[in-house]
Structure 1
Amino acid sequence: MVINERESRKEHLISVARQMMTAARTAPKGKGVDIIEIASVTGEEDIRRLSELTYAKGVETGLKFMFRDSENILQADVIVLIGTRTQVQGLNCGYCGVPTCVEKLQNDAMPCAINMVDLGIAVGSAVATAADLRVDTRIMFSVGFAIKELGYLPDCHSIYAIPVSASSKNPFFDRKPREQQPEQKI
């Protein structure tokens, strides 16, 4: 049997994404409480939808880098999403800027600092796994920020997206900054 890499690439990248999701799930947690949610998005239609939402959020917010990122993710075969639920940890550490977790509960807009650190560790574990498997990734705040409303990761306040690709040159490197909104929508 002959397996052509070009023909099996997408299947392989889905397998890599699953390993990245496992790495994120098993990443250490600050208090040992699992508040991380993880999903992956595949298929041209679904990735295009994420691209369009990222573009729209760029128009809404005026954040120009979102236009670049909305185009950039179209070069991914899989996008891994990792987020943290909004849940206090009951430590009363004040790292979030509020003295107690009881007071923090009155401000859902402010994430628990412990949860944000756990999110960073999970994202780092996922991209380290991808690097070990020699696929290209980039951590994108923009896409996660844009797609929160889709509900892929319920109850998550903060989401990061990680597009995944395997090509002769990393499409997520040497990106040109967008100085203005593109003339046409994607």
Structure 2
Amino acid sequence: MIMNERDLRHAQAVDIAQKMMVAARTAPKGKGVDIVECAVVDGDDAERLAQEMERVSEETGFKFFLRDAGNVRASECVVLVGTREQAQGLNCGHCGFATCEGRSQGVPCAINSVDVGIALGSACATATDHRVDTRVMFSAGLAAQRLGMLGEGVRQVYGIVVSISSKSPFFDRK
């Protein structure tokens, strides 16, 4: 049997993306409370994500959403990482408010934000271990959040585009 790498690329990228989700899941969480959500999108769902990014660009005038939509289309898949909002009850003030109860509606718990960051770092480290090209994208995450791709109430979503090619499509971006 002969297996050509080009024929296996997509399946390999999805497999690595799944490993990235495992890394995000097992990353340390504030107070040990796991409220991180992860998913992999590809195919038609990735196209739907790119189209939403284009809509955001039209609404906001931010052209980088258009560029990043092209990067989503150039990728094999996208790993999404976000968090469910849950104040951790530490009254730490990192969110800018003296107490958790004193936080304004919609202000994220800083511990939740850190959890997403650590999960993203763990996922990207796993991608690096497998030598795939990635880029963390606020734009893809915002579009995924608007589409509810990680479920109702999941916020602070980021996307990690994944590519296996001879040259990273995420490097020389205009």
TM-score (normalised: structure 2): 0.96
Give the corresponding residue for 1:108: 105
Structure 1 residue 58: deviation in Å?
A: 1.1
Give the corresponding residue for 2:52: 53
Give the corresponding residue for 2:78: 79
Aligned-residue RMSD, C-alpha: 1.0
Q: Is the 8 A contact 1:144 1:161 kept in 2?
A: yes
Number of positions where the alignment pairs a residue of Structure 1 with one of Structure 2: 173
Q: How does 1:174-185 map to 2 (within 5 A)?
A: 174-176=172-174
Give the corresponding residue for 2:169: 171
TM-score (normalised: structure 1): 0.90
Question: Which sections of structure 2, spanning at least 5 residues, go unmatched?
Answer: none
Q: Is the 8 A contact 1:86 1:108 kept in 2?
A: no
Q: Percent identity?
A: 55
Question: Which sections of structure 1, spanning at least 5 residues, go unmatched?
Answer: 177-186
Moved runs in structure 1, 4+ residues, more than 3 A? none
Q: How does 1:33-48 map to 2 (within 5 A)?
A: 33-43=33-43, 45-48=44-47
Cα deviation digits, residues 9-51 of structure 1 (max 9, x gap) = 11111110110000000001122110100001011x2211111
3-state SS of 1:121 partner: helix
Q: Distance in 1 between matches of 2:163 and 2:155?
A: 26
Q: How does 1:107-186 map to 2 (within 5 A)?
A: 107-154=104-151, 155-176=153-174
Q: Is the 8 A contact 2:144 2:150 kept in 1?
A: no
